[in-house]
A and B are shown apart, each in its own frame.
Chain A
């Protein structure tokens, strides 16, 4: 009987150390993780399975792009068992990582285009990997516009980047909004799709990327349609309860797709071929 001794065990996580923890909001922290051994490379849009040993695994999108650095950032909202536990961990603690998994944002196809990012809440996390990528390869892209909103000013993530770093870059615009303002808030007030309509960006030579809570995505997609963004240039990333990440466990099955293999990134055109179960 043949022994497939050459088969790699895809369920074994690699150990990584928590190098830095940044508190973003009351319930979101960004963890910078470095692998103890081996290389790591990924492209924007992919996710990893994060292991907290003894608590389990959770699929988390990579929110950074640090090529050649063997490290990555995960911005994690305290939600379930694994994410709650990881929130109690300290710098220097060890976690496990499997991946990267899933497809990527179409980084080649969008070369030479203007990029429009529309994020809501923690939904900016997966978009941030592509924002990092496009800023690193700034010459490959035209104008970069970022529209980002959260419920209140304290719910905004990546504050240093959205307020200080990104707006100061050439040919880069950042528009921040909140659903509900506080007394000290000087910026825009209103939900993301409303701000998007007000800004009225041209679909000319522009690709739109959106991620956020389901209700925000729904109205953002409608707004983009009203603004005449073609379906193939409207791109989002889906969330499902992915356990294995490698197309076996069946949990992220929508129609004939597995979100962990064929997604999580989909154009609106592709999304429309799927049953509405996301």
Chain B
């Protein structure tokens, strides 16, 4: 959430110095870094001299969970005599290191939801207290299609600081005032970048924009705005035949944000928490009366695509997809949003 975009400045940091910088940042921030464990990379809390990697394709889970945790306590309550409520809001200053351009874009999309009309303090507090250090993609994986959504894998001005891999060092592009303040606090790690390093970074960035094997033309998605026409398209029936309704696409999606709110009780204490939920589940819309507006898989799978490509667009002005490719990669029956768009638009 960067309202300020001062003149961009460029620095260099040697790769060999990154761990030491993280150790220093650790004293002042909660740090989240990509960590590889059993061949899976995910953002984890950094501890002094802890493991981290900046050589990875992308994390299994999107970073949305650092702002909208899979399970988040909203408040606790105690009713021994009178009911007392204690709110639980994360207020610590945090840094996420190594966020990819697709995933940082997903946060700006989620901002639209959580800022709109009623401000969601749990999400926005974390968002405002978190500095993002992005990392450019030089080698998109075969499931990636961020370029279809006009996201540049090699460049990201929505993060506070953006890193481009220059083999033995990173080019550090500073986009925001708070990014500049961070650099100022740790001058011993950064040296001014020269013209040739900036040019070299641009040369590395540009091939990243070419290497996509799936995707679509963003203009093609405009057809989804004709809800009446698309709503009864036979593709939904076809997809429903293969979809298992497992919901992995929504859990791993960096923009899916639907949640449930529920209570947990122990003796005289309890907590209210929210947790990720999925439009792919029968129970998502099933009411206590037994009436369910989306009782079948066809309606639920249609809801996911229509929400992303149509309803979200008319409400917030952007597609709720960043082309991170997680749903393609992990769908057990190979349902592929790029092919769904292709099927509908190529008629």
Residues of A bordering B, CB below 8 Å: 1-4, 7-13, 15, 51, 53-58, 79-81, 83, 94, 96, 214, 239-241, 243-244, 246-251, 253-256, 261, 275, 277-278
Contact = CB atoms under 8 A, between A and B. Distances in A.
Contact of A241 (B79, B274, B286, B303): B286
Interface stretch (B196-204, B239-247, B307-315): B307-315
Contact of A1 (B74, B178, B259, B286): B178
A247 B119 CA distance: 10
B124 A7 contact: yes
B92 to A, nearest CB: 10
A96 B77 CA distance: 11
B301 interface: no
Contacts of A253: 303, 307, 311
Given A7-B124, A243-B261, A256-B311, A249 B274 contact: yes
Contact of A12 (B85, B263, B264, B306): B85
Nearest to B116: A247
Given A248-B259, A253-B303, 8 more contacts: A1-B130, A8-B121, A9-B122, A96-B85, A241-B286, A244-B259, A255-B227, A256-B315
B120 A10 contact: yes
B263 A246 contact: no
A241 B284 contact: yes
Interface string B285-308: 111110101100001000100110
Contacts of B120: 10, 246, 248
Contacts of B82: 94
12 contacts: A1-B178, A12-B87, A53-B83, A53-B270, A56-B262, A56-B263, A94-B83, A246-B120, A249-B274, A250-B259, A251-B260, A278-B293
- Most chain B beta-carbon contacts within 10 A, residue among A96, A250, A251, A256: A250
A251 B284 contact: yes
B117 A9 contact: no
Nearest to A244: B261
Nearest to B312: A256
A1 B129 contact: yes
B337 to A, nearest CB: 18
A109 B93 CA distance: 49
Contacts of B121: 4, 7-11
Contacts of B307: 250, 253
A261 B85 contact: no
Contacts of B272: 11, 51, 56-57
Given A249-B274, A250-B257, A53 B77 contact: yes
Given A256-B310, A256-B311, A248 B118 contact: yes
Interface in B226-271: 227, 231, 257-265, 270
Contact of B287 (A55, A240, A246, A256): A240
Contacts of A214: 291
Interface string B50-73: 000000000000000000000000
A275 B227 contact: yes
Nearest to A52: B263
A54 B122 CA distance: 21
B75 interface: yes
Interface string B310-330: 111011000000000000000
Given A10-B118, A15-B83, A240 B285 contact: yes
Contacts of A7: 119, 121, 124-125
B336 interface: no
A256 B306 CA distance: 9
Contact of B288 (A80, A243, A256): A80
Contacts of A15: 83
A243 B259 contact: yes
Contacts of B12: none
Contacts of B77: 53-54
B279 interface: yes
Nearest to B84: A15
Contacts of A243: 259-261
Given A214-B291, A275-B227, A4 B128 contact: yes
B131 interface: yes
A1 B131 contact: yes
Contact of B285 (A2, A56, A58, A241): A241
